[in-house]
A and B are shown apart, each in its own frame.
Chain A
Amino acid sequence: MRMKRKSILWLIAVFLGFMSFVGIASQAEAFVFMDGDLKINGYIENQTAIRMEDQARDRGNDSGELSRCRTTMVLEAGLDLSESVKFNTILRGYYDAAWDLDSGIIQKPKEEKWDSAPNGIGMKEEFEVREYHFRKYWGNAVVKVGQQQIVWGESDLLRMSDIINPLDISHRIFLEDFENIRIPVRAIDFTYEFPGPKRFTVELVAIPEDFRTTRIASPGANWDPLAYRLPLTLSDPFLRAMEKDLNRIEDLGVENFQGGIRLKALFGEWDTSAFFFHKRAENAVAVSDEAVLNGMLPYIGPLVEAGAFSTIATLFEQNVDNIVDFEWPWTQTVGATFNVPEHYTGSIIRFESSFTFDQPFTVDYHISGMVDMLDDLLDYSYPQKVEFRLPDVDYRASDVLAFMIGFDRPTFIKFLNPKQTFFISGQLFQKYILDADDNWQTGLGKDGYDDHQVLATLIMSTEYLDGSITPQVAMMYDFTAESGLFWPKVTYIFNDQLHLEIGAVWIFADSGLSGDLGPFEKNDEAYVKLRYQF
Chain B
Amino acid sequence: MIKLRMIKQSLVCSLMVAFFSLCFQGAILAQPELPKDPNWLVDGEISQHVPGWNEGFIKCKPPYGGYNELTEHQKILNSWGYKARPIEEIKNLLPEPHYDIMSHPEIWGTFRVNETAWEPVKPRGPMWERFMAQTKKNIGTCYLDKKGWLRNYRYGIPFPELKEDDPQIALKLVWNYFKRYKDNDRLVPMDITTRDRAGYERHNLMLNHRLQMNGRVRPDEVTEEGLYKPNPKNLDFIYATPYVAPYNLRGTIPLYYRYDDPDKEDDMWIYIPSMRRVRRMSTAQHQDRLPGGLDWTWDNTEGFEGHVTRFNWTYLGRKELLIPVIGHSHTYYNPKAPLDANDQYYQRRNCYVIKATYKEPINMKEMILYLDPLLYNACYSVDTDLKGRTWIVQSMLEARNKNWFAGFYNGWAFDVQRRHATRALFAYHGSVDFRVENLAMDNLKKVYLAR
Structural contact, A496 and B285, CB atoms closer than 8 A: no
Q: Given B55, B247, B274, which contacts A32 in the complex, CB threshold below 8 Å?
A: B55
Question: How many angstroms from the CA of A86 to the CA of B363 in the assembled complex?
Answer: 44
B282 engages A149 (CB within 8 Å)? no
The digit string for B262-304, where 1 denotes a CB below 8 A from any CB of A, is 0001010000011111011111110111011110000000000
Which of B273, B293, B362, B363 lies at the interface centre, i.e. has the most chain A CB atoms within 10 A of its CB?
A: B293
Q: Is A88 a contact partner of B203 (Cβ separation < 8 A)?
A: no
**Does B246 have its Cβ within 8 Å of any Cβ on chain A?**
yes
With A348-B280, A493-B202 known as contacts, the answer to whether A499 contacts B288 (CB < 8 A) is: no
A410 in contact with B288 (CB, 8 Å): yes
Asked whether A533 and B282 contact (CB < 8 A) given A78-B449, A420-B288, the answer is no
Binary contact readout B189-232 vs A (1 if CB under 8 angstroms, 0 otherwise): 00000101000111100000000000000000000000000001
Contact A339 B280 (CB under 8 A): yes
**CB-defined contacts of B247 to chain A, threshold 8 Å:** 30, 41-43, 533-534
- CB contacts (< 8 Å) of A389 on chain B: these are none
Q: Which residues of A contact B327 (CB under 8 A)?
A: none
Nearest CB on B from A386, distance (A): 39
- A495 touching B446 by the CB < 8 A rule? no
> B420 interface residue, CB < 8 Å from A?
yes
B57 adjacent to chain A (CB < 8 Å): yes
- Whether B21 sits at the interface, judged by CB under 8 Å, is no
Within 8 A of B (CB), among A366-408: 408
Instruction: Report the separation of the CA atoms of residues A26 and B265 in the bound assembly, to the nearest whole angstrom.
Output: 39
Contacts of A418 in B (CB 8 A): 363
Question: Closest approach, in angstroms, between the C-beta of A245 and any C-beta of chain B?
Answer: 31
B362/A149 in contact, CB under 8 A:
no
Name which residue of chain B comes closest to A193, CB basis: B442
Compute how far the CA of A30 lies from the CA of B52 in the bound complex, rounded to whole angstroms: 8
Query: What number of B residues sit within 8 Å (CB to CB) of A?
Result: 49
> What residues of chain B lie closer than 8 Å to A140, measured between beta carbons?
437
- CB of B194 within 8 A of CB of A466, answer yes
Chain A residue at minimal CB-CB distance from B277: A151
Number of interface residues of A (CB under 8 A): 66
Which residue of chain B lies nearest to A153 when distances are taken between CB atoms in the complex?
B277
Does the CB pair B285–A465 fall under 8 Å? no
CA distance A32 to B56 in the complex (A): 8
Residues of A within 8 A of B362 (CB): 412, 414
Q: Are B284 and A410 in contact (CB under 8 A)?
A: yes
Q: CB within 8 A of B284: which of A177, A347, A495? A: A347
Given contacts A27-B51, A411-B285, contact A497 B246 (CB under 8 A): yes
Q: Are B276 and A179 in contact (CB under 8 A)?
A: yes
22 of the cross-chain contacts (CB-CB < 8 Å) are A32-B56, A39-B56, A80-B449, A86-B449, A153-B277, A193-B440, A269-B267, A271-B280, A339-B280, A341-B267, A345-B284, A346-B282, A348-B281, A408-B282, A411-B285, A414-B362, A466-B194, A467-B293, A493-B202, A495-B201, A495-B202, A533-B247
What 6 pairs between A and B have smallest CB-CB spacing? A346-B284, A467-B293, A466-B293, A29-B51, A36-B56, A78-B449
Given A343-B284, A467-B294, 16 more contacts at CB 8 Å?
Answer: A30-B250, A39-B56, A80-B449, A84-B446, A86-B446, A151-B276, A153-B277, A178-B275, A197-B233, A343-B265, A408-B279, A412-B285, A418-B363, A463-B291, A468-B293, A496-B202
Which residues does B use to contact A, with CB under 8 Å? 51-52, 55-57, 194, 196, 200-203, 232-233, 245-248, 250, 265, 267, 273-277, 279-285, 287-289, 291-294, 362-363, 418, 420, 437, 440, 442, 446, 449, 451
